[in-house]
């Protein structure tokens, strides 16, 4: 099971929260299917252009895969993470595939 979130238009500099919480172990797939980079942060201010300070960049066309679950992994797997496109609109796919 699990869930899939697809954001067709992740607008430039408009942070969007995505719940990455998982109650059972599994895999987390995060893919930038757009043509512009996406910033990822633990709070909204981290990915907002005016206040950005601590963020991770997912380049266009990149797929990230993580082992994740309660108490497993290094991502913030109990709450939201924030995503924002920079340098133009982009698209994001997130798949939380659980057992």
pLDDT tens-digit series, residues 62-82: 999 988 877 665 555 556 889
Torsion of CA 65, 18, 11, 41, to 10 degrees: -70
Confidence class of residue 10 from pLDDT cuts 50, 70 and 90? very high
Question: Could you read off the pLDDT of 29-51 as tens digits, one per residue?
Answer: 999 999 999 999 988 999 998 88
pTM of the model: 0.86
């Amino acid at each position: 099971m699990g869930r899939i979130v697809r954001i067709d238009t992740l607008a430039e500099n408009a942070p969007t929260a995505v719940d990455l919480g998982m109650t059972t172990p599994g895999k987390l797939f995060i893919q930038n299917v757009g043509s512009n980079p996406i910033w990822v942060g633990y709070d909204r201010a981290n990915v907002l252009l005016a206040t950005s300070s601590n963020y991770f960049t997912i380049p266009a066309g990149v797929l990230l895969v993580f082992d994740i679950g309660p108490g497993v992994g290094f991502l913030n797997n109990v709450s939201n993470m924030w995503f924002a496109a920079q340098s133009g609109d982009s698209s994001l796919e997130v798949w939380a595939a659980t057992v």
